[in-house]
Structure formats: structure tokens, C-alpha cells
A and B are shown apart, each in its own frame.
Chain A
Amino acid sequence: MRTGGDVGMANQTLPTRTNNTLRSVLVIAAGYAAVASLWILASDSLLAWVFRSPARISAFQTYKGLGYVLVTALVLAVLLHHQFRQREQTEQALRQSEERFRAISTLTPDHILMQDSQLRYMFVVNPQLGLAEQDMLGKTDRDLLSPEEADQLTRIKTQVLETGEPFHLETSLISQDGSRETFDGTYVPKVNAQGQIDGLIGYFRNVTERALAEEALRKSEERFRRAMDNIPDVVVIYSPDLRIQYINAATRRLTGRATSEFIGRREEEIWPPEVYEVYLPTLKEALRTREPHSLETDLELPGSGMRSLSITCVPLLDEEGAVREVLGITHDRTERKLAEMALRESEEKYRLLVDHSPYAIGVHQDGKLVFVNQSALSLFGARSAAQLIGKPVSDFVHPPQLAAARDRIERLMKGETGLYPVEDRYVRLDGSDVPVEVTAAPLTYQGRPAIQVIALDITERKRAEEALRRYADRLEVLHEIDRGIIAAHTLDEIANRVLPHVRRVFACQRSDLGLFDGSLTAVTAYAADYEGESVILSNTTYPLSPSKQLERLKNGQLLLVPDFQALEEDPSALTGLLLKEGYRSGLFAPLMLDGQLYGVFGLLAAAPDHFNAEHGEVAEEIASQLVIAVRQVQMMEQIAQHAQELEQRVAERTAQLEAKNRELEAFTYSVSHDLKAPLRGIDGYSRLLLSDYVDRLDDEGQAFLHNIEQAALQMHQLIDDLLAYSHLERRPLQASQVDPQALAESVLAERAGEIEARGIATTVEVPCATITADPEGMAMALRNLLDNALKFTRDVPHPVVEIGGRDTGTTCVLWVRDNGIGFDMKFHDRIFDIFQRLHRVEDYPGTGIGLAIVRKVMERIGGRTWAESEPGRGAAFYLEIPR
């Protein structure tokens, strides 16, 4: 609500309307009282003057009273009548005035109201908000409006009443039907005749429509402004006299100036002549002709540099056709122009690239060529582009590939990737084929979809690939041949392994391996290969007669016969045979060994001139391999033969050895038997003598006999030992799992009697894993060591014998340790020799074979034995057994 009122007047006291009424009443009362009093006084006096008798006075009192009443009534009537008439006049005047007022008010559209000092509506003209006058009269705003509105108005009205200053405002209120109405008007204090504020008058105009229109206008202006500011183009609105009324944000951006610099000004006032003279004429022209005019220009704008602009001036006309405003729209084409230039440049570059590319580049659209570059012309053998442009692409693709090519294009257009590059075959103008590598991509050509194809003539590449493949083939063949050679043990194998590959490389019908005899008068085909099968012709010897061809071979030279039929000399039997078998050309590589012609590697073809120089090279390589192969085979045969001979000899030797062994066995067997028998005799009779003839023998004689006995025993022991030793040799090695601990324990148990009898302290601790060894041999070795230990601890008061062991991972070490007399280590090696003894036989019996047996046992199982000792400090004997 718009308000506008002066504030600052001092509050006035509220004037009362009751003053006037009181005055009138007092006047009447006073008048009445005066007259009444006068009458009373007068009447009394009159009566007294008229009538002397008091009796008469009293009789006239009643008449005096009546007369009083009459007179006072008359006075009252007169006074009242006067008052009433006055009042009536006033009322009438007022009514008249009211009527006049009403007459006027009915004509006015404005809303007029009058409120009393309590702000009750007393009078309403053109009640608004859907209210009727009757509804309003006597009510306050609070009764009629919403609390907020009522408060608002009441506050203002109260202020007006208090300050006595009018208040102008514009306010909007909600009417009964809910719509919003806007009022523009003033409240003025109503001053009564006494000059007191006794109420309020307000007169308002319903400006709802105007307000709505204003609102609409404002909104529209807002929209306009926003739209204008969002337009990237410069928008300037001029008044008819070409003063700027409005500029948008783009204008500020382009010029870098603020709005204030433009509004109200003319172009001439803002820009220097070199700027405005460019477009002002157009603007003026538009204004003059009342038609839109445009201008494309490049302009140097101070502060923004050179700009490429497109200016349009549009005059806006009112209803009469006069120019209301001129609209100037300026489009900054600078970026686009630059982009266009860049594009043109890039297109230029591209064009150059395409034109000079070594790749043939073409574009086809709707199945026809629309563009080709220089290289494409040479690819197709065209002299000018005209020969190619417009022709269907299918003309240029090798017919068998056409369907595939089309399919690819279709898929490419659908957006598929990974289709290219591919190898294809194109057709030149002259009808010849050319192999190409092709890449294609979709393209927009002159606005429509097209395909760009880049093709490279790969004829050379293909040729190189072919050569490489041939070379690789050749290598592979040679490789196969090598492998074949390594694996072949016989000539048959050579044929089967080598020749089939050979045939593949040369694409001929037969390959032969022939070996010459020493005098070169015959060749024996040891191996041959026919197409489709491998056949061995062994020992088919063909006689040879000397010839130029043979001479060549003899000199180690390759022989190439383009046509057997064309041989100058009379064809030899061999040649005739070959011809008969259907071979026309041949290639022969000599197999030379130590400079001599050893054999020949031959290739035969049904067609004449089948073989070329390259074949020759390969053939020579193969020939050299074959020489090796054949040689190898022969050597192997020799080796085999030698091996056989060797084996035979070995067998013979072995047989001999076995025979010898058996002899030896028989010998030792009989020796032991036969030797023991007389021993028995010696012992027996000497004992008999000792027992039966003891009384007839003196001490000496007895001693003699005793010695004889001893000798016999010794001999027995010796024989036994010898037997055992030789037995050891002859016996085959048994290898079985032996538990060292168990073995030690069992060997010890064998001597349990003696150990117990002599009170020998023994320990057996062999924490070793099972070994693989000869159990009997091991037992024998341990037994011998134990016997030695027992023997050489004979004179020790507390004999201790310890059997121990230890695993080393690769071996098992056992030992027998005693605390006997020990020995000097300088005899260490000797004691292991057969029959070697360190002690006198009467001190310690024994034949000296025990340790030799131990050593022999260990040797046989691949182990070893050694000892450690100190004289007087016992000895330890070790056995090392491999796992």
C-alpha cells in the first residue's frame, strides 16, 4: 500500500458533537425558566393590582395557574417550534445537500467513505470488495476485513485522526469473492463546524485493473529484459529520434561499457566517427523507410578489437504506422568467421594431403565414385579423374570379392568397427587385377553420407610375402630334413623322413637318393619317392656310362637337365628309362665326400624346364645334408656292427671269467675240504697223544704237542678266513633294506656269551634310517669289527665296546669303538691289508684277514672304512655306507 501523509502534527482533542445539543436545550430551558419566572412574578403582581381582595386573588389563582400553564406552554411551543424549525431547516439543508451529494456520488466511480471518530462507517459511496452499504454502515474495518487488512487500515486511519494530516496510499485488499483489488486514494480527517476532527473521509479509486496492467507490464518488461539479456546478440532499442532507450547484456559484453554510458544518448555521442559512420546510415535508412535494413561489416571496436558484425535495424511501428521505436540487433560473427576460415584452411590442408598421398583415396556416394585423388588415378591406370568419377564402384572391385566388399560397406554404415583394414582385389581400367590393402570410413560429403576409401597397392608387398613364404618353406623343409637326418638310422628312414618334404618344395614328381659304386660305373638307388607314396628301391643298380653329365657331377657341380629329350648325346640307358617313365626334366645334385662323388640327389619332373636356379640352390643344400645323413647311416651301421662284435667278445670274456670263477670255487672248496682233513688228523692225534700218552711224555714233549695243536688250529683259522674272503668275492651282491640298529644288535647278540662272561659293557645306539646294502656282507663286516674290539680289550679291566651310528644325509656311518690297546695311526692303511697283523700271534690271535674282509665288503657296496686310534687309548673303526 502506498502511503503518503504528513506526520508530525500534535494531537488534537476530540471535538464532541454534544456541545450544540446541550446549548439548544439550555437555551430552551433557560427561555422557559425565564418566561415562567416572569409570568409568575408578573401574574402575581397583576392579580394583586387587579383584584384587591385576597379572596378574589385566590379565586384567580387557579386561573393564574392555568394561565401560567398556558403561557409557558405557549412560550415552549414558540421556542421549540423555533428550534424544531431551525432544526428542520438544517436537516432539510442537510438532506438537500446529501441529495446533491448523493446525486454527484452516484455519478462518480470512485469509492468514498466516511467514518466517525470510532471509525464506524457512516457513509459509503460505491462500496467495494463486494460489500453492500448496509453491511458496512455502523461497522468498523475489523468487522468487515481480514484482521491483517483491518489492522493496517485502522492504524493509518487512527494516525490520520490523530495527526489531522491526510494520508495518501495505495493498497490492495481481498474482496468477498477472493480476488484482489487495488485502491489508490487518500484519507482526510473530517472536521466539524467547530473545527474538531470528528471522523474520517476517504476517497479511493479502484485501480485494480491499472495495478494488474502495471503488474503485467512489469512482468512483461522483466521477461523482455531477461530474454534480451540472454540473447547473445547485441540488442539496442532507440527512440524515434535515435536515442538509446535500452541495451541488453550482450551489448555491455561486446562493448565493455556500462548501461549508463548508453541510455539516453545517441550513437554519435558514444562512439568515434570511424565506428558509428559504419552503421548509422543503415539505422537512419531503416528509420526513414520504416523498413528493416541489414549490414554485414567488419568493425574495429575500441576496446574489443576487430569484430565481424551482422547488423539488422528494424523499425517498430505503432497503430498509425509511425515509428515508435527502432530495434537494432547486431550479431557478432567474428567467432564463426574465424571458424569458417579455419575450416577452409583445414579443408585446404586436407585437400593437399589427399591429393599428394601415396595412398589411393576415393570417396563414393550412392555406389558411385564422387572423388578420387592422384594416386587413385595411377592405381586404376586412369589418365584423368573423369574416367573414374561417376562410375559405379562395383566396376572396380574384383568380382569374387564384390559381395564381401558390399557387406563390409553395409556394416560400416551401420556403425560397426574393426572391419578394416582388409586385403582386397581391385580391377584396373584395363581389366587387370591389383591386390590392395583397403581401409574405409564413413564420411559426409557435400552434406550427405558417403564412404571414404583408402587403398594401397600391395603388389610388391605380396610379392615379397610370397618370396618370404617360399624362403620360409625352404627353411622348414631343410629343418625337417635336418630332423629327419638326426633321427634316421637307416637309408629307409632317410627316404621316408626326408624325401617327402623335398618333393613338396620342388613340386616335382620324384626325388631320388642314389649311391655310386667306387668306379662310378653304376648307381644304386637306395631310396626313391614316388608321388603319393614312399617306395624303397633298394639295391636297384643302374649301369652308368661316362657322359658329360656324369663329368659335371664328378666335379661336384649341379646338373640341370631342362629336357631329357634334348640331350645332345645319345641318351644313356638311364636317361631312356627316365623318359620312358614319363620324366622330362631333372635336377641332380652331387653328394661329395672327401672330394669324391659319393652319390647323387636327384629330382625329376614330368614337365620340361620345371626346375630353376633357386631350385638348384636348395637342391645343393639338401644334397650336403643328405651326404651327412647317408654317411651317418653308414657309420651307424658300422657302429652297430662293432657293437655286436664287442658284445660277442664281452660275452666270451664273461664266459671265460665265469668258468674261471667256477674253477676257483671248486678249487677253494676242495682246498678247504682237503686242507682241513689233515689238519683234523694233526689236531686229533696230537690231542690223543696228550691225553693218552701224557705220562710217557716229559714237559718238553707235551709242549711240542701243544704247539702242534696250536699250529693246526691256526691253519684251520687261516683256511676259514681265506674261504670267507674268497667267498665274499664270488658271492653276488644282495641289496636289501637293512636296519642298522637291528643288524648291530644281532651281531652283538652272537657274541653275547663272551660279552657276558667277561663283563663287557656294551652300547648299541644306531639312530640311522634304513640303508640299502648287502645284509650278509654288512653283518660280516660288523662281526669282524666286533670280534676285533672284543679281542683287543682282553687285557682291559673294564672293557667297553660301543656300536654307534650317524646319518649324514647321503650316507650312513657306523662305528665300533673300544677302549682296548689301540694302535699307532701310522699303521692305519696296512691293517686293512690282507694278512697284515700288528701284534704277535701269541699276544693276540688272528690271521689278519678280518679287516681285509671289512674293507672288501665296504668296497663292494661302494662305501668305505677307516679307523681312528691311539696306542693304549682304544680304537674306533668306521663304516660309511652310501644310501
Chain B
Amino acid sequence: MSNLNKPILLVEDNPMDVDLTKRAFTRSRVTNPIQVARDGEEALAWLPRWEAGEPRPAVILLDLKLPKVDGLEVLRQLKSHPVFQTIPVVVLTTSVEDRDVQAAYQLGVNSYIVKPVEFNKFIEVAEHVEIYWTVLNEPPG
């Protein structure tokens, strides 16, 4: 299945951010269906669903500041899963803290992007992410 139809999993707790992200994707003509997890727990809940056969996302956009289960914890679990560790994870967060970046990469994150405040820029970023991960990048098998 081509990436164009693969879903993009967005793990984000802030409703405004969710909304804005979705809109950003729309404006940048991202056509992939957007799945949303509102906290870490919800995000991890997808694992069994994928195991059950639901389509895996082309890329997971992960915020770090999440209630219930922290973003880094989600990342760890994702990346330690024997099967689903191959799903590209892009951390999309406000934190530019060195140690967050380090930690994320240590856990095997594929990319780390800092969320811009300006919406315009945000749209650009969304565009880039979409193009890169869903078009350019070769997905794992």
C-alpha cells in the first residue's frame, strides 16, 4: 500500500494544537488520514490494534509533554516493540531542551522537530513532514 493513504498518527494532548495541526496538514494538502491520540495511554493503545491488523501509520508525530504516559515513555515502548519499532517517529514538540533531544535520539527517534509558534511556519513544517515521510521516504516493509 502506498504511503499516500497510510494514516498519520498524531499524539498530542492540546486540543488547539491538534486542531491547528490538522488544519495545517489540510492547508498543505496532506491527504493522509490523521489519527489522533490525546495522551500517552491512548497512543500505546494503538499497539494492540496494529497487532490486530489495523493499518500502521506512515509516521507517528509525537509530542513529548503528554498526560498519563509521557512522550518519551511512549517513544521507548514504540521503539522497543519488536515489530512496530520500524514505524518512523517524529517528535514534534515545543521543547528545545538538549536533554530531551538527546533522550529522544537515544531512544531511537527518527527525527526531532520543534513546533514553531507562528502558524505560517507551522504549516510549512507540516508540509515538509508530510512530503518527507509520506512521499519521499521509503517506508519499512
Contacts and interface: CB of A to CB of B under 8 A. Distances in A.
Interface of A: 669-670, 672-674, 676-681, 683-688, 712-713, 716
A685 B15 CA distance: 12
A677 B16 contact: yes
Given A669-B95, A680-B115, 16 more contacts: A669-B97, A670-B65, A673-B65, A676-B117, A679-B117, A680-B16, A680-B20, A680-B117, A681-B16, A681-B17, A684-B16, A684-B19, A684-B20, A684-B119, A687-B120, A712-B117
A678 B115 CA distance: 12
Contacts of B93: 673
Interface in B72-111: 93-95, 97
Contacts of A678: 16
Contacts of B14: 677, 680-681
Contacts of A686: 119
Contacts of B17: 677, 680-681
B122 interface: yes
B54 interface: no
A712 B120 CA distance: 13
Contacts of B120: 687
A672 B95 contact: yes
B21 to A, nearest CB: 9
A398 to B, nearest CB: 94
Given A673-B65, A680-B117, A683-B118, A688 B23 contact: yes
Contacts of A680: 14, 16-17, 20, 94, 115, 117, 119, 122
A834 to B, nearest CB: 21
Interface string B1-26: 00000000000001011011001000
Contact of B16 (A670, A674, A685, A713): A685
Contacts of B19: 684
A676 B119 contact: no
A335 B9 CA distance: 144
A713 B95 contact: no
Interface in B116-133: 117-120, 122
Nearest to A677: B14
Contacts of B23: 684, 688
Interface of B: 14, 16-17, 19-20, 23, 65, 93-95, 97, 115, 117-120, 122
Nearest to A675: B94
B5 to A, nearest CB: 26
B117 A713 contact: yes
Contacts of A716: 117-118
Nearest to B64: A673
Contacts of B115: 676, 680
Contacts of A687: 118-120
A376 to B, nearest CB: 103
A392 B14 CA distance: 129
Given A677-B16, A685-B16, A672 B94 contact: yes
B97 to A, nearest CB: 6
Contacts of B118: 683, 687, 713, 716
Nearest to B115: A680
A672 B64 CA distance: 13
B22 to A, nearest CB: 11
Residue with the greatest number of chain A CB neighbours at <10 A, chosen from B16, B93, B115, B117: B117
Contact of A676 (B20, B94, B97): B94
A642 B23 CA distance: 67
A240 to B, nearest CB: 149
A841 to B, nearest CB: 17
Task: Find the residue from B17, B20, B115, B119 having the highest chain A CB count within 10 A.
Answer: B119
Contacts of A684: 16, 19-20, 23, 119, 122
A745 B16 CA distance: 41
A674 B93 CA distance: 11
Nearest to A668: B97
A677 B13 CA distance: 10
Contacts of B122: 680, 684
A673 B119 contact: no
A673 B94 contact: yes
List 7 A-B pairs, minimum CB-CB distance, nearest first. Answer: A681-B16, A684-B20, A687-B119, A716-B117, A684-B119, A676-B94, A677-B14
A669 B23 CA distance: 27
5 contacts: A670-B65, A676-B94, A680-B119, A681-B17, A716-B118
A96 to B, nearest CB: 177
A179 B97 CA distance: 144
A160 B65 CA distance: 171
